[in-house]
Amino acid sequence: MSPVALTSPSTVPSMRTSPSTESVPLRSSRGPMTTVFGVLAPLRERPRGWVTSSISVTFSIGFVTSVGCGRRRVRHVSYGTGMQTAADPFTDLLLNFYEQTAELYDDWADGVNRRAAARIVELAAVQPGEGVIDVGCGTGLVTHALAVDHSSGGWALGVDISQAMLAVAERRRVAGGGISFVHGSAECLVLRDDAVDIVILGNVLAQTQDPEAVIREAWRVLRPGGRVVVSAEQRSLMTAADEVFFAELAELAAVFRIPRRRDNHAVIGEPSVLRGLLEEAAFSNVRTTQLLIGNHTDDARGFIELMRLTGPWPHAVISVLGPAARERFERRLTGAVKFSRDGGFLYHRAFSFAVAQRA
C-alpha cells in the first residue's frame, strides 16, 4: 500500500492510473458502466474558520484524489507503515492496536472474528452486479468472502484507517476479482453520493469518535433502496470473569491515564440502540439478530492474554503493566473469579447485527 500524505487543497495531485492496478467497475447514471473514478467525491470547499484535513491517497485501485473531512481537528501520527490521521487520543490507541495485532486478528480466540464475518456476509446477501463498500474492513475477512460477481459488474471496496490491517487484506487480493482496498476514514468516505448498493459497518461504530456521522455517511453513499449491514459487540452479555476483568482494567487505566471512548459507546451493541441509531438516520425495515460465542481459559494468565486482544483499550492498559503489576492483576482476578457466579475463566463474545434499507 502506498503511504498516506496530508496535503493542502492547493497541492492535491491530479488523478492518474497505474498499469499495475485495476479499476473497479461501478454503475453510474451517466451510462451503464463506469470505472471507480465515477464514484469519487469532489474536493469539498472548506468554510471559513473550519479546520479540515485533505487526505491525498494512492489507492490499490489506481487513482489519486483528495477529500476534505469537515469539522475535524486532525494531527499526524506515524506507526511505521506511513502517515495516519488521529482525531483524538483514542484513535492513537486504535492505530497502534491494529499495528500490533493485524497478523493475529483472523485467528484470535479460535476464529471468533471469522465467525462474525461469516454472519455479516450471510446478511449482506450480495446479488450479481451489486457494488459493496466494506467500511472498517480490517484484514478483509468480509470483503474477500462476499464473492462479488465481477463478470456482471459487481465489485467490493474495503476501507480501513489501519495500513497494517490493509496490508494483510491486500496480500490476499486476487487481481481481476473486482475487489480493492483503500486507506480512509469511516466518517469521511471518498465516494460520491448514491454510489453503492450495500454498505457494511463491521464492528466499526464503537471504535469511532462519532458513530452518528458514520451512519450518515453510509446513508449518503447508498443508492435509494440500498442496504446497510451493521455489527457491534453486545457488552451486556459478559461473563463474571469478563466483568471482573474490565472492572480491574478500569482502575489500572485511571492510574496510567489511558483514554477510552465515552461510556455510551459501550451500549452501541445493544439491539435496541442499533435500531434507534439507524431509524434516527431515516433507515427503514430494520432487522436485528445476535450471535454469542463462548469459551474458557485454564487460568488468569491465559484469560488476561486472551482479553488483551479484545480491543485497543485493553491492549493499551495491559501492555504498560510491568511484571509485578501483571502478577498482582492475575492474583486479584483469580481471587475474584473463584467466588463469582461462574466460578471459572469463561468468556463471551456477543455480537448484534442489524440490516436496514435506505428509502
- Domains, the chain, ordered by start: 90-359 (3.40.50.150)
Average pLDDT over residues 320-339: 92
Whole-number Å distance between alpha carbons of 256 and 233: 26
Lowest mean pLDDT among 80-89, 255-264, 346-355: 80-89
Q: Is 223 within 8 Å of 29 (Cβ atoms)?
A: no
Average pLDDT of the chain? 78
Helix, strand, coil distribution of the chain in percent, nearest 5: 40, 25, 35
Q: Which residues contact 3 (CB under 8 A, 6 or more apart)?
A: 81, 82, 83, 163
168/148: higher pLDDT: 168
Average pLDDT over residues 55-72: 34
Q: What is the rounded (10 degree) CA torsion for 140, 145, 150, 154?
A: -80
Lowest mean pLDDT among 59-68, 90-99, 275-284: 59-68
pLDDT of 268-323, one tens digit each?
Answer: 999 999 999 999 999 999 999 999 998 899 999 999 999 999 889 999 999 999 99
Query: What's the pTM value of the predicted model, to 2 decimals?
Result: 0.76
Joined grid coordinates for residue 237: 452479555
Q: What is the pLDDT of residue 92?
A: 83
pLDDT of 202-223, one tens digit each?
Answer: 999 998 889 999 999 999 999 9
Q: Is 353 within 8 Å of 289 (Cβ atoms)?
A: yes
